Homo-oligomer: A and B are copies of this chain.
Amino acid sequence: MTAERTATLDDVAKAAGVSRATASRVVTGQGPASRHARDRVAAAVAALGYVPDAAARALVTRTGTRLAIAVIGHTAAVLDDPYVGRVLTTAAHVAAEREVGVSLHWLPLNDPGSLARLADGRGLGGLVVVNPTRPALETVPRNLRGRVVAIGVGARDVPSFDVDNRAGTEGVVRHLVRTGRRRIAMVTGPAWLPCGDRAVEAYRQVLHDSGGEPRVVPGDFTAVRGARAAAEIMARWPDTDAVFALSDLTALGVLDGLHALGVQVPGDVAVAGFDDIAFAGLSRPALTTSTHPVEEIATAAAQAVLDRHNTGRATFFPSRLVVRDSA
């Protein structure tokens, strides 16, 4: 019997000379217990290094209190972007405050069913899906309905939290127009990310209003793609006088690409981004952009799902124009 076994509640009860029921009451803090029993159990817990088994507890309480965060779209692009990391850490922080565990799920883009699979259901308190596609959201299992929120685009029964892409884009493009730019190109996000559509729409609208022709180049939120986009844009439309990228990372890439081409920023071409990441203010020229309150969004999403506060369809967080040197 010298086998190294982790202590169970029974061991604690035996050591403390009480029943398992009493030990449980003391450990969980639920129900009455005499001073004497409390002390003895506490001592036993300390002596044995007892840690409650989460699985056993979850099994009986059925109170799945764990926040799952699923990130859709597993590409290197997502990895490089500080965005996902910030969402993760923020949500984890909110969860930690409420002493609920967080589980992380990294889902491929082309396998919507994986969302259903991760829901080993009853253990889950809620689910935050980052950057979902609508089809993926349709596969959320029924036992999770009402406990799922999306960061990005939502769906039926799935409220969404996102930055106001439309207004943010409008703000930036209007600023470009206001400062005399007319031949404004745009580098979008990845095509599969539906929330970028609103931004493209807004861009087209403002351009239409100001008599410009849309010049849209597809992007993927990476800096490398931004540099290539810059070359592409200047080749196709040499008279371009401004580039708006739907991501600061891409905008910084554009800056780099333009620099390589010998194009002056903002002299020849103005450049603006979106997100206001930490580095936006550190580039030379410092990047003009519009804020993306990631922490606020992630906090709201995590709270909503944790508080079962599933009201409303979609919440858009305001984006604020930050004018620096590049535009």
Residues of A within 8 A of B (CB): 4, 6, 49, 51-56, 58-59, 64, 66, 69, 71, 74, 78-80, 82, 84-86, 88-90, 92-93, 95-96, 101-107, 116-117, 119-123, 141-143, 223, 249, 252-253, 255-256, 259, 278-279, 281-285, 295
State the copy count for this chain. Answer: 2
A123-B122 Cα distance, complex, nearest whole Å: 15
> How many whole Å from A302's CB to the nearest CB in chain B?
12
A88-B91 Cα distance, complex, nearest whole Å: 13
> How many whole Å from A119's CB to the nearest CB in chain B?
6
Question: Which residues does chain B contribute within 8 Å of A117, judged by CB atoms?
Answer: 51
The 7 closest A-B pairs by CB, nearest first: A85-B85, A284-B284, A54-B120, A55-B58, A102-B104, A6-B143, A55-B59
A95-B165 Cα distance, complex, nearest whole Å: 33
19 further contact pairs, Cβ within 8 A, besides A85-B88, A102-B103:
A51-B117, A53-B120, A54-B123, A55-B55, A74-B96, A78-B89, A84-B85, A85-B86, A85-B89, A88-B89, A88-B104, A92-B106, A101-B103, A102-B104, A102-B106, A103-B103, A253-B282, A255-B282, A259-B284
Question: Which residues does chain B contribute within 8 Å of A279, judged by CB atoms?
Answer: 252, 279, 282-283
> How many whole Å from A187's CB to the nearest CB in chain B?
15
Question: Which residues does chain B contribute within 8 Å of A4, judged by CB atoms?
Answer: 142
A255-B104 Cα distance, complex, nearest whole Å: 36
CB pair B121 A51 closer than 8 Å? yes
> How many whole Å from A248's CB to the nearest CB in chain B?
10
Question: Which residues does chain B contribute within 8 Å of A282, judged by CB atoms?
Answer: 223, 252-253, 255-256, 279, 283
CB pair B82 A121 closer than 8 Å? no
Question: Which residues does chain B contribute within 8 Å of A253, judged by CB atoms?
Answer: 282
Question: Which residues does chain B contribute within 8 Å of A53, judged by CB atoms?
Answer: 59, 120-123
CB pair B283 A51 closer than 8 Å? no
User: Would you give 28 A-B contacts (Cβ < 8 Å), ordered by A?
Assistant: A6-B121, A6-B122, A51-B117, A51-B119, A51-B143, A52-B120, A54-B121, A54-B123, A55-B58, A55-B64, A55-B122, A59-B59, A66-B103, A69-B104, A78-B89, A79-B93, A82-B82, A84-B85, A92-B105, A92-B106, A96-B105, A96-B106, A102-B105, A223-B282, A252-B282, A259-B284, A279-B279, A283-B284
